[in-house]
Every structure is written in C-alpha cells, then in structure tokens.
Amino acid sequence: MSRFTGKTALVTGAASGIGSALATALVAEGANVVGLDIDEPGLGKKVAELGDAFVPVVADVTVEAQIEAGIATAADRFGGLDAAFNVAGGSRIGAITDLTEADWDFTVDLVQKSVFLCTKHEARLMRDSGGGAIVNISSLDGRIPMPGGSPYATGKAGVVMFGKNAALELAQYGIRVNSVLPGLVDTPLVAAVMGYEPAKQMFLERIPLGAAASAEQIAGPCLFLASSEASYITGTELVVDGGWEISNFPNLAKLAG
C-alpha cells in the first residue's frame, strides 16, 4: 500500500520499538518522516536503514523549545505536516508509599505532558497546512490500573482524555486526533518481562491471543487511524491488546464441560 505517498509524518520515539516500526512502515508507504528521539545513535541506525526519507532530530519530548524546533524541521524540509505519531515514552515504577516527587514528575511529564506539547506544535503546523491526523500512544494501563505503576497509568489515562479534548478543539481545522492503547508489546521497554520466562508467562496467561504484540502489530492500527481510510474517525480510542482487557472473567464453559 502507499497511503502516505507525498505526505510528511512526524514520529516521536522513532529510534526504538513502536516508533521505529512506524517510521519504517511510513517510509514503505511513501512518506517522508521526521523522527524525534533523545537516542542519537538509535536515530543514526534509522537513517542507515531508511535513507533520505528519514530526517532525524535529537530532541527531548518533555522540553517545549526542543519540540518546537524539531517540528519546525517538518516545515523547513517538507513544507508542512500531514500526520503525527506521539509515541515516545517510558516510566519509573514503585509503590505509592515509596515513589518520590521526582519519579512522579519524570513519568507524567514523559507520557502525558509530552503529548500536550507535541500536539500543540503539530496542530499549529497542520492548521497552517490544511489539516492532518494525530495519533497518540496511550496504553491499556490508561484503562486498567497497574499496581506499582501509578504515575504511568495515570499519565496514560490522561493521554486518552487529552486526545478527546484535542479532537473537539482541532476538528475545525480538519485535524483528527485519536489514541491507541497497546497491551503488551515486545520492545526494549519491556525487555525485563520478555526476557524472564516466569514474568512473561504471568502476562501471557492474561492475553487470549497468547502472545505479546510485535511493534509492527501496533504500527498497523496507528497507520490506519492516520490514513484517509479513517477520515471520519476522531476523538476515539483503539485498544490493541490481544483481548487482554476483556479476559478477566473465569471461563464457565470449563465448568459446564
């Protein structure tokens, strides 16, 4: 498919995991991609993989001036912005009784404030170039609590509500905003879980489709939401979790048998 031929896309967190898969998929579908990340060597690997269609920008998504400068790259190099994927994330974990204010701020700034700041500057550019689509990566943890991960889950829930507000405010400019909520995705972010078999099994037991998603399995739904196929979809949230969210009830069919 070439749904993004001649389009310009911006991806935060483009050096690894879901953002990296998105950048690869976008270029394969004809887009020019501006990739923001703090990981300079990781961005260098994407340039080696994707060539001139991928423009790397070293930027911290929690710092507004760096985001603004990074997004301006899309205007300078390609004349505008059609699609943006706010993906960069990470977290500090710990019990509420132990977490520090700095732990809280680090995580909520990274997963939530960054989405506000990026959306602000992406939307300004899209407004000036006739519209566009923004996809924010939340998490299943934005809908179900994660003991030990309260700042992350709280921040990710905020991403969904922020996306709905942004969808309402930005519709007048032809800008759509949607959230994607992945379950478990096999990326470096969850290497500790995927690399330790007992922990991995604890997660997989809860996932009806029986596996973690690949980064590409999250990139696909994100691309759909940003494409013209989703031109009437805004303000919604798409859970991509292999059935994890709905799998909490015991299977009564096993009793009946």
Which one, of 231, 223, 118, 209, lies nearest residue 180 by Cα?
Answer: 223
Q: Looking at 4, 9, 19, 125, which residue binds ligand NAD (CB under 6 A)?
A: 19
Q: Which helix (H) or strand (E) holds 182?
A: strand 175-182
The active-site residue out of 152, 173, 196, 232 is: 152
CA 118 – CA 129 distance, rounded (Å): 17
Q: Please tell me whether residue 42 binds ligand NAD under the rule CB under 6 A.
A: yes
What's the DSSP call for residue 77? H
Q: Which helix (H) or strand (E) holds 12?
A: strand 8-12
CA 81 – CA 7 distance, rounded (Å): 7
Q: Which is nearer to ligand NAD, 81 or 159 (CB)?
A: 159
Q: What are phi and psi of 59, to 5 degrees?
A: -155, 150
Smallest distance from the beta carbon of 4 to ligand NAD, in angstroms? 20
Smallest distance from the beta carbon of 248 to ligand NAD, in angstroms? 18
Q: Which stretch binds ligand NAD (CB under 6 A): 17-25, 121-129, 220-228, 242-250?
A: 17-25
Query: b/e string for 13-29 if b means 16 or more Cβ within 10 A?
Result: bbbbbbbbbbbbbbbeb
Q: Please tell me whether residue 44 binds ligand NAD under the rule CB under 6 A.
A: no
Q: What are phi and psi of 239, to 5 degrees?
A: -85, 125
Q: Looking at 23, 27, 74, 88, which residue binds ligand NAD (CB under 6 A)?
A: 88
Q: Which is nearer to ligand NAD, 107 or 234 (CB)?
A: 107
Q: Which stretch binds ligand NAD (CB under 6 A): 23-31, 54-62, 94-102, 230-238?
A: 54-62
Q: Which helix (H) or strand (E) holds 132?
A: strand 132-137
Q: Please tell me whether residue 184 binds ligand NAD under the rule CB under 6 A.
A: yes
User: Does 196 participate in catalysis according to the annotation?
Assistant: no
CA 5 – CA 8 distance, rounded (Å): 9
Which one, of 53, 56, 57, 76, lies nearest residue 129 by Cα?
Answer: 76
Q: Please tell me whether residue 136 binds ligand NAD under the rule CB under 6 A.
A: no
CA 156 – CA 184 distance, rounded (Å): 14
Q: Please tell me whether residue 57 binds ligand NAD under the rule CB under 6 A.
A: no
Q: Please tell me whether residue 245 binds ligand NAD under the rule CB under 6 A.
A: no
CA 29 – CA 204 distance, rounded (Å): 32
Q: Which stretch binds ligand NAD (CB under 6 A): 25-33, 70-78, 117-125, 180-188?
A: 180-188
Q: Which is nearer to ligand NAD, 8 or 16 (CB)?
A: 16
- Annotated catalytic sites, by residue? 152
Task: Give the residues lining the site for ligand NAD (CB under 6 A).
Answer: 13, 15-19, 37-39, 42, 60-62, 87-90, 110-111, 137, 139, 182, 184-185, 187-190
